[in-house]
Structure 1
Amino acid sequence: MRLLLPRRAASDRALQNRLVRQAASLLLAYPDEEHEKRLDVVEQLLEHITGPEKDLLGAAARELGGGDGLGVAQQYVETFDLRRRSTMYLTYWTAGDTRNRGAEMHAFATAYRDAGVAPPAHEAPDHLAVVLEFTANVDPSAGEELLTRYRVALDVLHASLRDALSPYAQVVEAVCATLPPVTDQEEQRARRLAQAGPPRESIGLQPFTLTVPPRAEGTPQKGTSQP
């Protein structure tokens, strides 16, 4: 039986979800020279967020703001660029190094264009921070559909970050809290994916690579664009 919320309650929940997703997008961005400014914006957003999501995002923001910039950047690279099992490229979880990944990424780019915005020029369209930004600010309905479609990938990512004791685990957990509850089938798929890893295609396929924008001299070197 589906619970029908009063219109005001449903509207408040939709706004809360957008605020959570915007804060999460800022926290999941690479901590460059704008990192402190993004944390300030997160603090402002947290004033309007309630419930467990506020606590999760607040704890992550405090931990990510507690160290020096170089250390936070190195932590980010080690977490997301050097560990295949904690990549934020959502299609990598479902398509891995296969031909299907191009089609899946095209679906993200198409959703952006259909909403009237161009896909990002310097990041892949399936990057979680990009999808969250789109969902919060451009098309909440289309963005939530994308996030829900890759809910299993989000659950596996959260488990990997949690096992690594990463503050980013709390950010992904807050995002998951804005989505419909997982089904038993989705939970089983997440468990299998966590054990087996992303799919691979063997002979005759060139690795799928992403174009990573150049870094300013002196910043930490990220891993390859291929998770």
Structure 2
Amino acid sequence: MPSPSRVLKLIALLLDYPSPDVRAESLALHALIRTAELPEARRDGLAALLDALCQGDLLDVQERYDSLFERGRALSLLLFEHVHGESRDRGQAMVDLLERYSAAGLAIDANELPDYLPLYLEFLALGDAEAARQGLVEVAHILALLAQRLAQRESLYAQAFEALLALAGVAPELAGQCYQAQQEAVDDSLEALDRAWEETPVSFTDPAAGCPSASPRRQPAGVEQPLQWVAQPVPQTHPRATR
């Protein structure tokens, strides 16, 4: 049975910008999915997502990825996008997160942003199973919100977020109960893009919201302080990480 770290790396690969590597390694990735310590429904969901990434012209798959994750804030894979919008706190939060990555031995290519979800998953994969779980719990509300919004669009990418919540041990309905996804119609027009960037960001830390975390916020092993999730526009490059 594969370790949680291998499953996190698998999901990071599935959520990254589609590349020929996924297709080349599809058989091995399917084998990893089938032996992952996840509920059967979550394994089936990841397998379906992998199949979709391996079917048809790669350029079409990449275009679908762009249309989901790079057109507005609502589905951004930059975790800091979903809390404080254009907060001034982003700069220091980025520095703090980069320092944690460096301490864990994770080197980031130039021009990469540390809050990119696949990169964060690779960071969690460097720790032990409990530290990784706590790192997922730390962002469970964001994962649940994205799962809901992707499900509304009938996107198989929702399966990756459901799997992450399963690894965190957090029920999707519990994690997202205070932060229901907006029931917006799917609209990819330029006007809709402008509106998306004007959306008020969701706050997961404001006590006035009256909704506590679905699970106590505990500090992951090896991390000096809890992560601070703030915001930044989606980049046009796709981060890669090396150890």
Provide TM-score, normalisation by structure 1.
0.72
Tell me which of 175, 179, 183 is aligned to 2:164. Answer: 175
Query: 1:125 aligns to what SS in structure 2?
Result: coil
Quote the Cα distance in structure 2 between the aligned partners of 1:190 and 1:132.
22
Aligned residue in 1 for 2:51? 62
Residues 128-207 of structure 1 mapped to structure 2, 5 A cutoff: 128-136=117-125, 138-140=126-128, 141-181=130-170, 186-191=175-180, 197-198=200-201
How far the C-alpha of 1:194 sits from its partner, in A, is: 5.0
- Pairs aligned (count): 193
Quote the Cα distance in structure 1 between the aligned partners of 2:174 and 2:45.
26
Long gaps (5+) in structure 1? 1-11, 201-206, 215-227
2:98–2:114 Cα contact (<8 Å) kept: yes
1:155–1:176 Cα contact (<8 Å) kept: yes
Quote the Cα distance in structure 2 between the aligned partners of 1:194 and 1:121.
35
Tell me which of 76, 92, 96 is aligned to 2:65. Answer: 76
Residues 101-110 or 89-98, more deviating: 101-110
Aligned amino acid, residue 127 of structure 2: D
Residues 45 and 87 of structure 1, relative CA distance in 2, 3 Å threshold? same
Q: Does 2:42 correspond to 1:39? A: no
Aligned amino acid, residue 145 of structure 2: V
Long gaps (5+) in structure 2? 184-198, 204-230, 239-243
How far the C-alpha of 1:56 sits from its partner, in A, is: 1.6
Q: Which has the higher contact order (CA 8 A, sep 6+)?
A: 2
Deviations 1:91-139 (A, max 9, x none): 1112221112233333332221221222443531111111112222x22
TM-align CA RMSD = 3.0
Aligned amino acid, residue 95 of structure 1: H
Aligned residue in 1 for 2:16? 29
Tell me which of 107, 113, 136 is aligned to 1:124. Answer: 113
Aligned residue in 2 for 1:220? none
Query: 2:150 aligns to what SS in structure 1?
Result: helix
How far the C-alpha of 1:162 sits from its partner, in A, is: 0.6
Provide TM-score, normalisation by structure 2.
0.67
Structure whose residues are more often helix by fraction: 1
Quote the Cα distance in structure 2 between the aligned partners of 1:199 and 1:169.
19
